[in-house]
Amino acid sequence: MKNTVIVVLLIAVVALGGLAITKTQSAKQAEAQHALLKKELDDARARLAEYDQNAVALREKLEAAQVESAANAGTAAKLTVALTNTVASTGTNTKPANPFAEMFKDPEAREMIKNQQKTVMGGMIDKNYADFFKAMNMTPEQQAALKDLLMNKTLGSMDLGMEMMSGDLTPERRAELTKQLKEANDAINQQIKDLLGAENYSQFEAYEKSVPDRQALEQFKGQLTADMALNSNQEQSLLTAISEERQGFKFTTDYGDQQDFSEDMFSKFTEERMNLYFQEQEQLNQRILARVQPVLSADQYNAYAKSLKSQQDMMKMGMKMAASMFGKKK
């Protein structure tokens, strides 16, 4: 009888133990399932937030593109009329050697170009200098003052640049315009220095040199699909590599140096000097590609190589057009 009781007790203990183990396992499974569901919910929320951010960014890009497209379309139509009128004014059977040069002589056409640039430049300055405003902890008033100075600097250079492209000029007049351009830039730079202070102005100069690289990087980012998007570390590494390589590269003639007034633009735009610049730019691109390859995935790297090629092709086209406007044949 005693043995029977012991056996019954053992069976009961085993059964209870099995039930406890089963319940423990069930609890663990439930806990694991709960954790898995929570992770899936968190992931879904993160994806939804990312989709919302992308939707906002895409909407902002679309709105900006629509505004700029409308402004460009309106200006293009007006300039087409101005160009047509300029050609027509020379006679039905003759055309000016450089109709664009004739157009730049027209005060109304020049004013249209300036007004269009004012529309575009405001948004570009906001975007290109946003990181600088943030890094300097600038107040809204300081930002507005600096933006006005940058706008005046661009528009002032544009005025003199259009006069330079308005037709054949004597060497004396070209030298005079180059001097005026340097003096105008120096005056604006001094005002910026007074606004920022000497120490912050040094940082501004360094940042200003990186603006073309920032613009090129933004252009590249816009070409990437969602699955190839750069993360923040890649973006910063890419910008650093591009800027350092560009600033460390010595061009024979640096067409990108906006502060070089050692000679007038006509002297720079010769076929020989431009071809050498294109070769040197290709060398720089190869240095940049070698520098960024460890940072990018294979797909990102291939896309960036194509982007650099596209940018260089556009640059060549623009420089050749400028040379044609300046009328340099050798």
Give residue-wise pLDDT tens across range 271-293: 888 899 999 999 999 999 999 99
- CB 241 within 8 Å of CB 295: yes
Residue 4: per-residue pLDDT: 36
Q: Residues 239, 217: contact at Cβ < 8 Å? A: yes
Nearest of 113, 86, 117 to residue 100 by alpha carbon: 86
**Residue in this structure with the two tokens 């968190």, named with its chain if needed:** 42
Q: Which is more confidently placed, 172 or 159? A: 172
- The answer on pLDDT for 98 being more than 70 is no
Average pLDDT over residues 233-249: 92
Cα–Cα distance between 79 and 105 in angstroms, integer? 13
Query: What is residue 88's predicted lDDT score, i.e. its pLDDT?
Result: 44
List Cβ neighbours of 161 (8 Å cut-off, separation of 6 or more).
Answer: 181, 265
Which of 64-68, 77-81, 177-181 is predicted most confidently? 177-181
For the chain, what percent of residues have pLDDT higher than 70?
60
Enter the pTM of the model: 0.62
Mean pLDDT, residues 159-185 taken together: 76
Tell me the per-residue pLDDT of 188-210, one tens digit each, with 9 for 90 and over. 999 999 999 998 999 999 899 88
pLDDT (0 to 100) of residue 239: 92
pLDDT, residue 241, reads 93
Average pLDDT over the chain, rounded to an integer: 73
| DSSP annotation of 259 | T
Residue whose tokens read 């069930």: 26
- CA-based radius of gyration for the chain: 32
Per-residue model confidence (pLDDT) at position 154? 83
Residue with tokens 């800027």: 243
| Pair 121, 157: CB distance under 8 Å | no
Q: Name the one residue in this structure whose structure tokens are 């940082």.
A: 203
Contact 237, 292 (CB under 8 A): yes
Query: Mean pLDDT, to the nearest integer, of 43-57?
Result: 54
Helices (H), 165-297: 171-196, 198-223, 232-248, 265-268, 271-292
